[in-house]
Amino acid sequence: MEYRISPRVGSLQSSAVRDILKLTQGKDMISFAGGLPAEELFPIEAVRAAADRVFSTGKGALQYGLTEGFVPLREQLCGRMAAKQMKVTIDHMLLTTGSQQAIDLLVGVLTEPGDVVLVERPTYLASLQVFALHGLQVVACDSDEHGIIPESASELIAKHKPALLYSVPTFGNPTGRVWSEERRKQILQICTEQQVPILEDDPYGDIKFHEDETYPSMFSMQDSVDGGAVFYTSTFSKTVAPALRTGWIIGDTSVIRMMAKAKQAADLHSSTLDQQVLHQLLAGFDLDAHIAVISKDYKARMLEMDQLLQKQAVDGLVWEKPKGGMFLWAQLPEGLDAEALLKAAVPKGVAFVPGSSFYAREPQRNSMRLNYTYNTGARTEQGIVRLVEAISEFTARS
């Protein structure tokens, strides 16, 4: 039979990153493409011990759970949120299958097809997929190194009456940028006044390279959680391990309740084995000390890549040194197309994500995102050598 495929799904681009990941499954491929954490740092023995404690609690551990998520884990997360000046109760919180699901569910609750969503430019590509699937029109605010430019936000809000503003203010994906505190306050104020809810996506906030600096969330700056503009989502994928697929979102109780209703239909609930493992892990493991170890290691990897790129001194290649997170955002000489470069790079055994993936429209074609957390040492060096070789040949041909 011929199937009638929903046009929204049919026209959806498969994630460029995941398609490249498939390409790069050959052994000799060095990938700077994915947003993969370093496996060497996964606290697998602590996770194993936590799982063992879960099984020791008895067979009830394997029963159906609450849609909202395992209560003791939500309680622990309330404590962790409070340490960052985000004061919430478990009723303000929904556990999700990674923070990706939090984005999807909130968008489902707060938007209708045809609505406008405001984003940074560039922005997280899998959020663009969510917006496309929900039939939203994506409008990008002008941004600089301090975050979204308030005048641009004000103007676009007045013009489009957006249903949501989506942002990654701390170590943005793909740029690695951090919004200034002043900008956070300004955007929060504008959105509060204009009644535009904000989804503050913070998967990387813990992975910071300057211990003394703090980057307060917009969520922590609002007067009240209930009725507040900001919904904040984060995940254990980068701080513990991605396979456990556990994220959370906090915000207004009534909206969280609606999201739980939508989640009932979507999957009843996320893995409670994973949630219980994380609960047991947090009870017996110093996650903050572990995060400090990861951050230190990732900083070293970032500096390693930065120095390799400096050493290779590619004419016209520029990048910002990120203050945290997992990505280095680089610009090729004006006029070079990173998608075309990728096609030249893959046969040489190196991959990255072309910057165009992170734009809903009018992409900046000469940019690319390099992940520095997955590889290290000789592999990073070899990868950068291959990349630079590809760029040189490509430039010579252009």
Interaction residues for a second copy, span 276-335 (CB under 8 A): 276-277
Residue labelled with tokens 């970032």: 302
Of 31, 65, 73, 166, the residue at the interface with a second copy (CB under 8 A) is 65
Tell me if residue 59 falls in helix, strand or coil: helix
Q: State how far Cα 73 lies from the chain centre.
A: 21
Kindly tell me which of 215 and 374 has the beta carbon lying closer to a second copy.
Answer: 374
> Which amino acid, 96?
T
Paired tokens of 147? 């975050």
| Residue in 26, 27, 28, 40 binding a second copy, rule: CB under 8 A | 40
173 and 34 in contact (C-beta within 8 Å)?
Answer: no
Query: Smallest distance, Å, CB 59 to a second copy?
Result: 4
CB of 100 to a second copy, least distance (A): 5
- State the nearest-atom distance from the C-beta of 271 to a second copy, in Å: 4
Comparing CB distances to a second copy, the nearer of 123 and 272 is 272
Q: Which is nearer to a second copy, 112 or 211 (CB)?
A: 112
Interacting residue with a second copy among 122, 174, 176, 197 (CB under 8 A)? 197
Burial class of residue 212, CB neighbours in 10 A (0-12, 13-18, 19+): exposed
Residues binding a second copy: what is the number (CB under 8 A)?
84
For residues 128 and 388, which CB has a smaller minimum distance to a second copy in the complex? 128
- Which residue from 81, 86, 163, 221 is in contact with a second copy, where contact means CB under 8 A? 163
Q: Which residues are 233's β-sheet partners?
A: 201, 249
Among residues 69, 98, 150, 322, the one that binds a second copy under rule CB under 8 A = 98
Three-state secondary-structure class, residue 361: coil
Q: Choose one: 203-211, 256-264, 279-287, 360-368; the region binding a second copy (CB under 8 A).
A: 256-264
User: Interface mask (CB under 8 A) for a second copy, residues 109-148, using x and -?
Assistant: xxxxx------------x--xx-xx---------------
Angstrom distance (rounded) from CA 188 to CA 196: 9
Paired tokens of 121? 């430019």
Cβ at position 202, least distance to a second copy in Å: 17
Distance (Å) of CA 118 to CA 8, 65, 123, 184, 313 = 19, 35, 10, 15, 37
Nearer to a second copy by Cβ, of 17 and 332: the residue is: 17
In this structure, the chain runs to a length of 398
Q: What's the alpha-carbon Rg for the chain, to the nearest Å?
A: 21
Is 202 or 308 the residue whose CB approaches a second copy more closely?
202
Stretches 32-40, 80-88, 293-301, 363-371: which one binds a second copy (CB under 8 A)? 32-40
Q: What is the biggest distance separating any 2 CA atoms in the chain, rounded to whole angstroms?
A: 66
264: Cβ–Cβ under 8 A, 6 or more apart, which residues? 67
Nearest in space to 158 (alpha carbons), one of 119, 110, 118, 123: 118
Question: Quick one: residue 227, left, alpha or beta (phi over 0 = left, psi -120 to 50 = alpha)?
Answer: left
Interface region with a second copy, contact rule CB under 8 A, candidates 50-58, 87-95, 291-299, 347-355: 50-58
Site for a second copy in 333-392 (CB under 8 A): none
Cβ contacts of 395 within 8 Å, gap of 6 or more: 315, 333, 336
DSSP structure class, residue 141: P
Footprint of a second copy on 67-96 (CB under 8 A)? 67, 96
Figure out which of the listed residues 245, 301, 323, 386 binds a second copy, where binding follows CB under 8 A. 245
Stretch of 261-269, 313-321, 363-371, 375-383 lying at the interface with a second copy (CB under 8 A): 261-269
Taking CB under 8 A as the binding criterion, the range among 147-155, 265-273, 333-341, 379-387 that sits at the site for a second copy is 265-273
Write b or e for each residue in 195-211: b if 16 or more Cβ atoms lie within 10 A of its Cβ, otherwise e.
ebbbbbbbbbbbbbbee
Among 201, 274, 363, 366, binds a second copy (CB under 8 A): 274
